[in-house]
Amino acid sequence: LRILPILFGSVTLDLADRNPADIDTSPHLKPHVKQHRATVTDPNKIGNILRAIDAYHGYFATLCALKLAPMLMLRPSELRACQWQEIDLDAATLTIQAKRMKLKQHRKEANLESDWHIVPLPRQAVTILKELHPHTGYSVHVFPNVRTPSRPMSAETMNKALRTCGIESDTLTAHGFRAMASTLLNRMRGKENQRLWDADLIEWQLAHQNENVRSRFNRADSEEALSQRREMLQAWADYLDTLRAGAQVIPFKAKAG
């Protein structure tokens, strides 16, 4: 049993790609079960989680990844494999090419610019990346593997770091930050109970492959859509700051029906 904390810590610090103790030695005996990606949507609990992340004392790049994950609505695989060449801090954008996205194989291979995902970076994200660059700018990867800097952070690192923060897997996973953002952004209402954020805009930011959304936000109006998403992500990052500070939570109005 004494080896288990060592294996756990080696993954958290990115000294190992995976924890051998987590291996299921007989997958053929069990039916495939869709992975549960736990999330949190209670604003007060989100504030607690954000403060727990801020108190993380592990590898600095892992801390930065954990801080960015709630803001940017990216898949963990997209975030952890980010490269510095994809980031334009002056323009405050992250451009993920199709070959790195969750797409059908022929679209990944074609890697058409029209399939690239441009992520507007909130001011808070730009600040985090500027603070991180002196630490990992030597690598191609924004979040390099500690043991092998030529490779990105391992797939398990963020989830293991959440566990280190005291956030259990049945409470929140790294992928669950996407559902957290989507749920709360879809709930937000203005004074006249109107939606603050278009549902399709949220889907576009999540890079869900919905053809109706793709046809609506085509390249002809991509600049307008990018501007709208920038406004949305900045408002979302500001809201997360409010929750992190433990300020009074402004209640959302319930959706009609």
pLDDT of residue 69: 98
Q: Is the pLDDT of residue 165 over 70?
A: yes
Q: Is residue 26 part of a domain?
A: no
CB 229 within 8 A of CB 198: no
The residue-averaged pLDDT of 45-56 equals 97
Q: Is residue 30 part of a domain?
A: no
Mean pLDDT, the chain, rounded, equals 81
Between 21 and 205, name the one with better pLDDT.
Answer: 205
Share of the chain above pLDDT 70, in %: 69
Question: Which of 99-103, 109-113, 179-183 has the least mean pLDDT?
Answer: 109-113
pLDDT of residue 154: 94
Q: How crowded is the C-beta side of 257, counted as CA atoms within 13 Å?
A: 0
The residue-averaged pLDDT of 148-164 equals 95
> In the chain, how many domains are there?
1
Q: Terminus-to-terminus CA distance in the chain, angstroms?
A: 52
**What residues contact residue 239 under an 8 Å CB cut-off, 6+ apart?**
184
Q: Is residue 28 part of a domain?
A: no
Is the pTM for the entire model greater than 0.85?
no
Q: Is the pLDDT of residue 30 over 50?
A: no
Distance between alpha carbon 111 and the CA centroid of its chain, in Å?
22
* pLDDT band at 224; cut points 50, 70, 90: confident
* CATH code (residue 10): 1.10.443.10
Q: Where are the beta strands (DSSP E) in 187-237?
A: none
Show the domain range for 64: 3-19+36-242
pLDDT of residue 44: 95
